[in-house]
Every structure is written in C-alpha cells, then in structure tokens.
Structure 1
Amino acid sequence: MMNTGSNGTMTILANTNETLKGTCLGWEVSKWLLTYQPPYMWVIFVLGFIENLFVISVFVLHKSRCTVTEIYLANMAAADLIFASSLPFRAISSLKKYWPFGGFMCATVFSMFRLNLFSSIYTLMMVSIERYLALVKAMSIGRLKNPWWAKVICGIIWIFAALLIVPNIVIRKVVFKKELNTTVCVTDKSSQHWFIVPNIIINVLGFLVPLVVTSFCTFHIICVLRNNAKKQFKKKNKDKKATRLVLSVFLVFVMCWLPFNITIIITTLGQLKVFIPCTVKNVNSFVHHISTYLAFSNSCINPIIYSMVGNQFRQKAKEVYRRLLCKGLDRRT
C-alpha cells in the first residue's frame, strides 16, 4: 500500500500483492513506481546538492554586495539545498522497504518537501512584489530595496514556512506493521479532519494565495516590459534582465508544482467523502506520484535557469571561480 497526497511523496509500506488488496491502485503500477523511485531520488539529490551549493557559493564569495533580487534567489537555493539533502533518507528507505531512521527523522525528512514549497513560493512572491513596485509603479520602495531588509524578510519567510509544516510533522509517525513485520513512516489517519489539514494548507496558503499575488505582479510586469520594448527604452537594462530571470524562475516553478497541487485537491475531496470513481483514484494516484517527482526536479532546475538567463549571475560565477583558480595556482607555485 502507498499513502498518497499528504506527504508530498509516496511512502512505501509493502512490496507484496497481499498488502494491495482492497485498494484501487494496481500492483503493476505500484511496482513500476517502486522500481524507479530510489535512483531518481539519488539523481535529484546529487544534482540539487551540487548545483545549489554552487549558486550559494557564488553569491557568498563574490566581492560585491548582493542585490535584493540575488538575496531572494540565494534564499531559494538554500531551500532547494535543504530539500535535496533529505532525499538520501527517502531513497534508502525505499530500497530497504522499511524506515530505519527513527521517529524524529521520519517527521523531519518528510516535512522538508513542504518546507521547500512554502519557503520557495513566498520568496518568489516577495521578489515579484519588489519587481512590481520597482518597474510597474516606478517608485522608491524604501526598505524593500534595502538588502538588509531583504534578509529580514527571508528570515520571516522561514519562520512562517516552519509554522505551516507543523500539522504535517504532527501526523507523521513511525509504526510497526504486523502484516509486514517491519517499521514504516506513515501519516496518522486516526483523525480524518486533522489529517486533511496539511492538504488544505498546501493548496490554499502554500500555493493559491502566493500564486494569485505573484501572478498579479507578473502580469503587470510583463505589460511594462512589453511597452518598454515597443518604445525602445534602454533605461534600467539591469532591472529588465533581473526581472526576466525572476519571471523564468516563476514560470518553471508553476509548471513543476501545479500538477502536484491538483492531485492533492482530488485526494482531499476523497478524504472528505466526496464520491470519486475508482478509475479517477487510480489515475490520480499515478499522476500524484509522477507530479511529485516533477516537483522534486524543481530543486535542480533553478540553478540551470540562473546560469542560462541570469547574465549577472554568470559574470559573478566567472569572477569568483577565476579568482579561486588563480589563488590555487599561486599556492602551488
């Protein structure tokens, strides 16, 4: 059996046909998912860890002070790095077919997925607001343009994100399954209404609200950039490049996370006893796991976007690692 919907990834509870009796999900689909889950997680871990560590190193080691936008992007890289670091525990558990890391790690590891979502999307929302005020309103936005305040806002985002994952932490338990003769990390379904709270939080506060705000800002930003392009304005070229980078990150974020949120909504409706045909449950269960893998990939796509779209980031990366290379060569000689 697999738990789908509340944990952001599939929790392996068994690898036998008997444990799937009474469920809609067929064994062949389950076996296919179980086969490819661990290697996929290892790939995302390696890529996400190396790439995001590289991004953070560029922003930290460069001589110039980070801009507000760069501070927010570094904050997203930190969120992606933390999430990527949790994937080896999931991969090992999938291979072993049981949870060997104890109750604390069970709650912590399976909450990193949602912590990554909350911290990332609210960081995107704040940087979109900053771009909106700077370009659309063309106004001096005072504290929002101050790098120090950007760091404070990032701290507030992390605190808020941590509060949002508390329900998910509470319902995560390590239990012994007699029919499997092993320990597993599962969500506690003893209270159905409490069980659906994390799903509602992730759909409303973790996606819908920040998505509406960010989309509003993005729409007006695109209009301004289009009008400026028609008028052939060359002013604020750096602002335009930074804005295009933010828009690219936002677009990819929505593409990676929207399918996952849709499957969560369908799962929540099922938990609320809304009738959903078994065929729909089968499709939703399968799509949920695939969309979860797609959401995983967002953690290693962002650094690629920085390198491809972010001209300033590429320049900073060259300067940082050219300097480090020169220092290394000087030490040898």
Structure 2
Amino acid sequence: MTLRPTSIPDYSTTISYGNNNNTNETHCPDHELWEWLTAHQPVYILLITVLGIMLNMFVLTVFCFHKKACTIAEIYLSNLAAADLVLVSCLPFWAVNMLNDFKWPFGHFMCKVINVGIKMNAYCSIYFLVLVSIDRYVALVHAMSHGRMRSPKYAKLGCLLTWGFGLLLSIPVFIFREVRYFPEYGTVCYLNYPNHNVQVICDGILIIFSFVIPISIISFCTFNIIQALKLQAIERFNAENTERKATILVLAVLVAFLICWVPFHVITIVDVLLRGGILEGCHFENAVDISIQIFTYLAFLNSILNPILYVIVGKNFRKKVRELFQQWGHQRKTLSDSTRSNLSSTLKTSV
C-alpha cells in the first residue's frame, strides 16, 4: 500500500492496495521541501479562499445588479467567476484536511462533493474561456456571416451546457472518491480506482477534454483575433471601441489562464507517462510529485487573478462599477428623502 508524501485536492492523491500494480511511492523524497510545502499549503489555500470569495463575489455583484443587461462576453465572464467561486469555496475543506495531518474529518459524502466541485472548475473554467474566445472570434472575424449566433439567449444556453458538461466529466470523481481508514495513514479521502487501466482512462479524459481540445480551440481563435486587431481587417471596429475593449480584456484573461493552468496539465501528462512506466527514476519521480503540488496551487491562483484583471484591464467593467455605486447612491438618497418626507407628514398630522 502506498501514499504520496502529501495530498492535492482531487488530482493526484491515489492510494494503491491489494492487487493494484500502480506504485506512486517516492523512495527518495526531499523531506525538507515536502515539510516546507506541507507547512505552507494551508496558509496559501486559506489566502486564496478569502481573496477568491471576496473578489469573485464582487464581480458577480457588479454583473448581476447593474441596471444594464450583461453583454455576451460578460455572460461568459460572470459564469467563469461563478466557477472560480465554486473552487475557492471548496478549498478550505482541504486546508483543514492538511492541518489535520491529511486525515479527512468531513465524512464520505463531503469527500465526493468537495472534489466534484474542484473537478468541475477544472473543466468549466476553460470551456467558458472557449466560449468567450469563440464569441470574440465571431465578433471580430465573422461578424457579417455569423452575427445572428451572438445573442444572450445562445450565450446562456452555452453556459448551461458547459455546467452540465463539467458535471458529466466529474462523474468518475464522484464514483471513485472514497473515505477509508488505513492503519498507516488514518482516515483518508482518496481516489480508489479499481485498476490501473481505469486510472489511465480518467487521466486521459482530463488531459484531452480539459487541455488538448480547449487549448487548440482557444489558440486558433486567439491567433485570428490578434490578426484581426493588428490588421484592422474589419473597418467598422475602428469606430466600435466597445468590441475592441472587450476583446483586450478577454485576451488578458486567456493569457493569465494559460500561465496558471498549462504547467499543471503538462506535469499531469508527465505523471501519466511516469506511472505508465514510460519514464522512470527515483529523483525524477520525486521532482514530478513536488511539481504537481506547486503547479496545482499555481492553477488555483487563477481564481483570484481574473477579478483583478477585470479592474486593471476592463475599462467597461470599471465603468459598470462606478455606475453601480452611483445607482446604489441614488437609491439610498431616494429612500432617505422618502423617509424624511413620510416622517415630516406624520409630524404635521400629529400636530
């Protein structure tokens, strides 16, 4: 029976036992580095949680309560904020798990639900970016021929299908996540694959559907978007700065997502090759284990970068924030004036 030196929410915590030939045990770990990671991970997770909840709630508040309806790009970005909010809301459970020496205290059902929430973010986040990339591509490159496809109704339908697709792809996590007591480790929430082939299939699904396919689509759209912006191929967009501003924001969000998530997916591919026996070596295995830890939490950092980018890059978003505060200020003033008027009328009647 083997367990990796430390645990990551959902992605690589795998205990093998019985006749399972998968051996992920690291025989020559860098104990000092593992201890440093273990000591600092809970603090990092709690920081990501607090900032992520505050910032993504702020974004959702602006998009939902502004008097003007969301644009198509904003519909996708608001759903991206919701997916990030789901992720950061699940992370505190793993922080507690780490502080509890990786002994899962929340029961079998929560073990499944929390990890499904994290897995859904991995799928939904990138597919919301796929949708917004396609929208920017159509808006800048094929506006005349496919403009009718860009409607809030289709955008909302696309978001609904994306949530359903993310939930569908998270079913293996719900099935194979279990809580079990092991004398060596205590009560552990872990992925209990029935055999190595099933584990390889699940890893393959993660790599193909959350990396290869979406990154290919995003790369194609992004290349053409940049070309359209650079060459100004469609003259009417010179006058319509709204589309260009929205596109620049989307490109910034895409770059941040790629920086945060590509290392995780690359190291996941390396890990699959390592567990398949294609790559081997004690120190190499230890380096992969440590890299998975670091790149996983780099990926989680993306959940707080997006709201910051909206404020820094998104001129339209900043405008919406100002208008929302003005809207609330006007409502408060109207309510206050109404209250004073009613009080004055009451006093006059009493006299």
Which TM-score applies when normalising by structure 2? 0.86
Partner of 1:117: 122
Partner of 2:285: 281
- The change in CA–CA distance for 1:231 and 1:326 in structure 2 (over 3 A counts) is closer
Max Rg structure = 2
- The change in CA–CA distance for 1:253 and 1:224 in structure 2 (over 3 A counts) is same
SS at match of 2:156: helix
Of the candidates 98, 101, 110, which is equivalent to residue 94 of structure 1?
98
SS at match of 1:174: strand
Q: Which moved more, 1:285-294 or 1:140-149?
A: 140-149
Partner of 2:136: 131
SS at match of 2:143: coil
Cα distance in structure 2, aligned partners of 1:102 and 1:245 = 41
1:238 partner letter: T
Of the candidates 103, 106, 122, which is equivalent to residue 108 of structure 2?
103
- The change in CA–CA distance for 1:264 and 1:22 in structure 2 (over 3 A counts) is closer
SS at match of 1:141: helix
Partner of 1:240: 244
SS at match of 1:139: helix
Deviation at 1:233, TM superposition (A): 6.6
2:10 partner letter: N
Q: Which moved more, 1:107-116 or 1:244-253?
A: 107-116
1:269 maps onto 2:273 in alignment: yes
Deviation at 1:27, TM superposition (A): 2.2
Contact 2:86 2:118 survives alignment (8 Å): no
Of the candidates 146, 153, 163, which is equivalent to residue 158 of structure 1?
163
Structure 1, residues 70-125: CA drift from partner, whole Å, max 9, x if none? 00000100000011100111111111121011111111212322211211111111
Task: Within 5 Å, give how 1:14-53 maps onto structure 2.
Answer: 23-53=27-57
Cα distance in structure 2, aligned partners of 1:86 and 1:243 = 31
- The change in CA–CA distance for 1:328 and 1:197 in structure 2 (over 3 A counts) is farther
1:146 maps onto 2:162 in alignment: no
1:298 maps onto 2:285 in alignment: no
Structure 1, residues 187-222: CA drift from partner, whole Å, max 9, x if none? 114411112222211111111101001100100110
- The change in CA–CA distance for 1:188 and 1:7 in structure 2 (over 3 A counts) is same
Q: Which moved more, 1:297-306 or 1:102-111?
A: 102-111
SS at match of 1:81: helix
1:308 partner letter: I
Contact 1:25 1:285 survives alignment (8 Å): no
Where relative contact order (Cα < 8 A, 6+ residues apart) is larger, the structure is 1
Contact 1:199 1:268 survives alignment (8 Å): yes
Which TM-score applies when normalising by structure 1? 0.91
SS at match of 2:69: coil
Of the candidates 67, 84, 88, which is equivalent to residue 84 of structure 1?
88
**Structure 2 segments unaligned to the other structure (5+ residues):** 16-23, 341-351
Deviation at 1:49, TM superposition (A): 0.4
CA RMSD in angstroms, aligned pairs only: 2.4
- The change in CA–CA distance for 1:114 and 1:326 in structure 2 (over 3 A counts) is same
2:109 partner letter: F
Cα distance in structure 1, aligned partners of 2:153 and 2:237 = 31
Cα distance in structure 2, aligned partners of 1:172 and 1:7 = 9
Cα distance in structure 2, aligned partners of 1:35 and 1:152 = 43
Structure 1, residues 272-323: CA drift from partner, whole Å, max 9, x if none? 2223211211111111111011001000100001111111111111111232
2:126 partner letter: I
Cα distance in structure 1, aligned partners of 2:144 and 2:93 = 47
1:47 partner letter: L
SS at match of 1:43: helix
1:259 maps onto 2:263 in alignment: yes
Contact 1:171 1:195 survives alignment (8 Å): no
Deviation at 1:25, TM superposition (A): 2.6
Of the candidates 218, 224, 237, which is equivalent to residue 220 of structure 1?
224
1:40 partner letter: Y
- The change in CA–CA distance for 1:125 and 1:233 in structure 2 (over 3 A counts) is closer
**Structure 1 segments unaligned to the other structure (5+ residues):** 13-19
Q: Which moved more, 1:222-231 or 1:284-293?
A: 222-231
Q: Which moved more, 1:162-171 or 1:68-77?
A: 162-171
Of the candidates 155, 161, 177, which is equivalent to residue 182 of structure 2?
177
Cα distance in structure 1, aligned partners of 2:253 and 2:76 = 12
Identity of aligned residues (%): 39
Contact 2:13 2:191 survives alignment (8 Å): no
Of the candidates 185, 209, 212, which is equivalent to residue 208 of structure 1?
212
Deviation at 1:232, TM superposition (A): 11
Of the candidates 167, 183, 188, which is equivalent to residue 172 of structure 2?
167
Cα distance in structure 1, aligned partners of 2:194 and 2:63 = 46
SS at match of 2:232: helix
Structure 1, residues 30-77: CA drift from partner, whole Å, max 9, x if none? 211110110101000001101001101101101111111000000100
Cα distance in structure 1, aligned partners of 2:25 and 2:267 = 23
Deviation at 1:152, TM superposition (A): 0.9
2:113 partner letter: T
Cα distance in structure 1, aligned partners of 2:235 and 2:146 = 25
Cα distance in structure 1, aligned partners of 2:269 and 2:169 = 17
Contact 1:143 1:149 survives alignment (8 Å): no
